[in-house]
């Protein structure tokens, strides 16, 4: 939708210059605000029209039955779905008894701006009612990064050319009617009236609703309070029912007069606290917000974001659209994780109900690598959440006849929630993905307290799973059979290379960590024989290789399968999962998303440079990218093997996944892993950053269209600045003690005394690989225009040291 002429290219904003009802649901996702605890979709303030209403609390869910045509032992009995909780965004407006509705009267202008530095959504409207009354409406909405339970709205109305009677109805509304989710399996499940009322009250300008879910037995509360500014003679009324709390303000306004409401919202939920405790909590949060005041909340928000952009901003010269999309992506990744505080990061964040609000493996593999190097505290919190669900993962492993922990493929609370076990239970690699994130965090932060308290147990229990899931055969090879790797178009395969290499890393990491912390390991029941068995399994891990093709097969049998008939597959029959049975997909060479290519990214130490180039060339013509997770990994490896223009094309696909609605499901929420993939494509792709053996390595190269790339990372209490041009790279240690890094295989010593500048060596590149017909990424040409800038950026977000 950003290609629509109503959107402009600006450095620090997503700016919609006119309202388009045909893409309303998509823009509601784009303009969503969140802090990782509360999520508000970008619905219009008046509540209608809407594409998809949505207000979410992280991990607040309802249970739903999982029907099976034919049941089986070990199948999950119920699923979990995120709940659309009480909507506090609504401020209805009546102009001389006529409801303000953009579908009626004359909409003279309508603009919305998502300000990425201020962390707010601005809206300005000029409207003429069906009775000829002209008004201007201005609103600003925020979800606080500094006060976790708080959101706030400033809503202002003024007449243009004649006196009018204005009524504002500020509401809390539970159990909103939701549109049908349709048949797309990626969409969420609609639950009718999921909340049962427990308490409702209004007192002066304050309102409160408390509800609970029927099956999951979770309790949540929402409260609102107001500061009202207007002419003398205003009247204020309040009322409540179990599902509605309403404060109404009525005033006669003349031209030049304004009626303004500052609405403070507070949300809280618990599975254990009483009704009165929830009520007291959100009332206390409201008191703190009122004490801070609207201007104070705005100042806190901007201060928080100033600090974030200091360490996280990336500058790319040569493509203004990608620069804008990159900052949009980083902002939403921040929103998804910054105040989750030991809760998961769902695949859609808190921007929509897609995938039922579940978290998947992409949290640990796609999202956390960026958070670890930009906002490590948030990454640690996500891993602490995984640790809090360890007892459920261990119970699931026992149910499956395995030792250790079997973490669920998709979940909200920690239980398995996938009814399709070939792509759910069998995707055991999620256990190694979690272990990989643990080791990545520890190596990047040297947080040994976390390693002893959280990390070691996660590594131990996931290592135990692999030792019991795999086996040593008569040839002395450690095999892992009957699993599903990242490519969901291949299921129940033997020796998926990604799974085996990640399990190998898991086993080695567990053995090393247990040796570092022997007392903690013994408390977990680890003994010398078990450590030796992990090391043996890692050492003898079987990695198949196809000598006839001279490539690494995705699994034992992959390269022996028939190649999918791409030539006769219609271009409008993607994603394939919506048009073809899995039975047919599973037995063909067709790749939904990067699998072996992802193994080369995360376990690049297991492949030579020549193998990477050959493997990449082999899998490109088979990969259809029916998953939003794929293009960023393909960008990273394309850059590594020297296919820089192809990497640039994939970067653009990742950057515009939601802004162009490429997967046609942005209406259900943003793709958080794809958004953070923009960071990966630039930092790990064109920046060539890798973390192997506790050492940072860089191998930067830029495509012709990019003149300069600059970014910062936080590593072991140090801030490192990297600036790449076409010919050389500048490494600067901004703060922290001296550090050794690697540049294209050469060791460098960094200190705060001076920058180190090195040339970028040339690379021999083979022919550009092809993709399946109709599935090549759109070629990204150089962009000659620049971003529109409405104000000078703060010096604090400039990256130059």
3-state DSSP of 84-111 = CCCECCCEEEEECCEECCCCCCEEEEEE
**Which pair of structure tokens corresponds to residue 660?**
């162009």
Determine contact, residues 218/270, Cβ cutoff 8 Å: yes
CA angle 468, 469, 475 (to 5 degrees): 90
**Residue 362 is labelled as binding a ligand:** yes
CA distances from 632 to 41, 101, 356, 593, 749 (A): 26, 41, 24, 10, 30
Spacing of C-alpha 70 from chain mean position: 34
Rounded-to-integer distance, Cα 676 and Cα 693, Å: 24
Instruction: Please list the alpha-helical segments (H only) found in 620-671.
Output: 630-640, 644-655
| Tally of CA atoms within 13 A in the half-sphere of 32 that contains its CB | 39
Q: Which residues in 671-701 are b (16+ Cβ under 10 Å) and which e?
A: bbbbbbbbbbbbbbbbbbbbbeeeebbbbbb
488 part of the active site:
yes
Determine contact, residues 364/378, Cβ cutoff 8 Å: no
- N-term to C-term CA, the chain: 36
**Residue 593 is labelled as binding a ligand:** yes
Q: Which residues fall within 8 angstroms of residue 129, CB to CB, at 6 or more apart?
A: 95, 96, 98, 100, 104, 105, 135
Determine contact, residues 325/661, Cβ cutoff 8 Å: no
Rounded-to-integer distance, Cα 391 and Cα 10, Å: 48
Q: Which residues fall within 8 angstroms of residue 741, CB to CB, at 6 or more apart?
A: 695, 696, 697, 698, 720, 731, 747, 748, 750
Stretch (H or E) spanning 502: helix 497-516
Q: Which residues in 130-161 are b (16+ Cβ under 10 Å) and which e?
A: eeebbbbbebbbbbbbbbbbbbbbbbbbbbee
Rounded-to-integer distance, Cα 6 and Cα 8, Å: 7
**Closest residue by Cα to residue 684 from 452, 369, 391:** 369
CA angle 199, 201, 204 (to 5 degrees): 160
Rounded-to-integer distance, Cα 715 and Cα 723, Å: 16
Residue 768 has φ and ψ, to the nearest 5°, of -65, 125
Sign of the C-alpha dihedral computed for residues 313, 314, 316 and 322 taken in this order:
negative
**Residue 89 is labelled as binding a ligand:** no
Considering 488, 530, 620, 723, which one is annotated as catalytic? Answer: 488
3-state DSSP of 216-241 = CCCEEEEEEEEEEECCCCCEEEEEEE
Kindly give the pairing relationship between strand 562-563 and strand 588-589.
Answer: parallel
**Closest residue by Cα to residue 601 from 634, 626, 623:** 634
**Residue 645 is labelled as binding a ligand:** no
Q: Where are the beta strands (DSSP E) in 271-319?
A: 314-317
Where does residue 343 fall: left (phi above 0), alpha (psi -120 to 50 degrees), or beta otherwise? beta
Rounded-to-integer distance, Cα 377 and Cα 746, Å: 31
CA angle 3, 576, 772 (to 5 degrees): 75
Q: Which residues in 391-403 are b (16+ Cβ under 10 Å) and which e?
A: ebbbebbeebebb
Binding residues: 361-362, 592-593
Q: Which residues are annotated as a binding site for substrate?
A: 361-362, 592-593
Query: Which residues are part of the catalytic machinery?
Result: 488
């Amino acid at each position: 939708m950003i290609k629509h002429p109503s959107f402009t290219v600006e450095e620090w904003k997503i700016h919609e210059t006119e309202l388009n009802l045909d893409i309303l649901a998509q823009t509601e996702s784009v303009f969503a605000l969140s802090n990782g605890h509360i999520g508000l979709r970008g619905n219009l303030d008046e509540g209608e029209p809407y594409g998809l209403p949505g207000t979410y609390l992280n991990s607040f869910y309802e249970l739903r039955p999982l029907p099976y045509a034919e049941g089986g032992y070990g199948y999950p009995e119920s699923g979990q779905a995120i709940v659309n909780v009480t909507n506090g965004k609504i401020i209805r407006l009546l102009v001389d008894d006529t409801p303000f509705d953009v579908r009626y009267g004359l909409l003279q202008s309508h603009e919305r701006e998502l300000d990425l530095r201020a962390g707010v959504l601005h809206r300005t409207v000029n409207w003429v009612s069906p009775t000829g009354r002209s008004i201007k409406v201005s609103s600003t909405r925020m979800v606080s990064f500094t006060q976790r339970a708080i959101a706030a709205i400033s809503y202002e109305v003024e007449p243009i050319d004649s006196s009018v009677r204005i009524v504002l109805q500020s509401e809390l509304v539970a159990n909103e009617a939701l549109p049908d989710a349709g048949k797309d399996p990626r969409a969420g499940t609609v639950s009718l009236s999921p909340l049962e009322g427990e308490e409702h009250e209004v007192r002066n300008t304050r309102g409160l609703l408390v509800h609970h879910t029927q099956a999951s037995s979770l309790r949540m509360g929402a409260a609102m309070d107001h500061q009202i500014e207007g002419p003398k003679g205003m009247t204020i009324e309040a009322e409540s029912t179990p599902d509605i709390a309403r404060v109404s303000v009525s005033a006669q306004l003349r031209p030049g007069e304004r009626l303004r409401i500052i609405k403070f919202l507070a949300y809280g939920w618990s599975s254990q606290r009483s009704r009165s405790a929830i009520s007291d909590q959100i009332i206390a949060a409201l008191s703190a917000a009122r004490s801070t005041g609207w201007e104070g909340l705005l100042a806190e928000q901007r201060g928080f974001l100033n600090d974030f952009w200091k360490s996280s901003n990336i500058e790319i010269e040569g493509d203004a659209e990608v620069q804008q999309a990159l900052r949009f992506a980083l902002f939403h990744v921040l929103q998804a994780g910054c105040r989750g505080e030991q809760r998961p990061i769902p695949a859609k964040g808190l921007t929509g109900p897609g995938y039922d609000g579940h978290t998947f493996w992409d949290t640990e593999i796609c999202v956390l690598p960026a958070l670890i190097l930009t906002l490590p505290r948030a990454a640690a919190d996500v891993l602490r959440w995984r640790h809090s669900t360890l007892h459920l993962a261990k119970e699931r492993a026992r149910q499956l006849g395995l030792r250790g922990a079997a973490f669920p493929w998709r979940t909200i609370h920690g239980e398995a929630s996938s009814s399709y076990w070939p792509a759910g239970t069998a995707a055991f690699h999620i256990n190694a993905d979690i272990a990989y994130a643990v080791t990545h965090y520890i190596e990047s932060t040297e947080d040994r307290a976390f390693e002893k308290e959280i990390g070691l147990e996660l590594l131990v229990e996931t290592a135990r799973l692999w030792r019991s899931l795999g086996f040593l055969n008569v040839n002395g090879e450690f095999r892992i059979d009957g699993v599903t790797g990242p490519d969901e178009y291949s299921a129940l395969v033997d020796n998926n290379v990604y799974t085996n290499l990640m399990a190998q890393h898991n086993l080695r990491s567990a053995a090393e960590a247990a040796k570092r912390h022997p007392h903690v390991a013994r408390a977990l029941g680890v003994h010398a024989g078990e450590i030796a068995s992990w090391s043996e399994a890692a050492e003898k891990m079987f990695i198949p290789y196809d000598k006839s093709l001279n490539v690494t097969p995705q699994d034992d049998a992959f390269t022996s399968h028939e190649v999918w008939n791409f030539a006769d597959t219609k271009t409008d029959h993607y994603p394939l999962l919506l048009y073809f049975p899995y039975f047919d997909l599973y037995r063909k060479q067709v790749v939904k998303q990067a699998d072996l290519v992802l193994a080369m990214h995360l376990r690049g130490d297991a492949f030579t440079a020549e193998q990477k180039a050959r493997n990449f060339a082999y899998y490109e013509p088979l990969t259809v990218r029916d998953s939003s997770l794929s293009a960023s990994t393909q960008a990273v490896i394309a850059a590594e093997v020297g296919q820089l223009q192809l990497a640039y094309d994939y970067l653009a696909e990742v950057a515009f996944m939601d802004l162009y609605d490429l997967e046609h499901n942005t209406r259900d929420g943003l793709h958080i892993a794809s958004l953070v993939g923009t960071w990966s494509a630039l930092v790990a792709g064109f920046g060539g950053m890798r973390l192997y053996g506790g050492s940072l390595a860089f191998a930067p190269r830029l495509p012709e269209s990019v003149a300069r790339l600059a970014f910062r990372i936080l590593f072991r209490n140090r801030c490192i600045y990297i600036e790449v041009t076409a010919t050389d790279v500048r490494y600067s240690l901004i703060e922290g003690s001296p550090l050794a890094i690697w540049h294209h295989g050469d060791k460098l010593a960094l200190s705060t005394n001076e920058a180190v500048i090195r040339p970028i060596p040339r690379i021999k590149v083979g022919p550009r690989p092809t993709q399946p017909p109709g599935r090549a990424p759109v070629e990204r040409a150089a962009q000659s225009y620049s971003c529109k800038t409405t104000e000078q950026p703060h010096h604090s977000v400039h990256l130059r040291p």
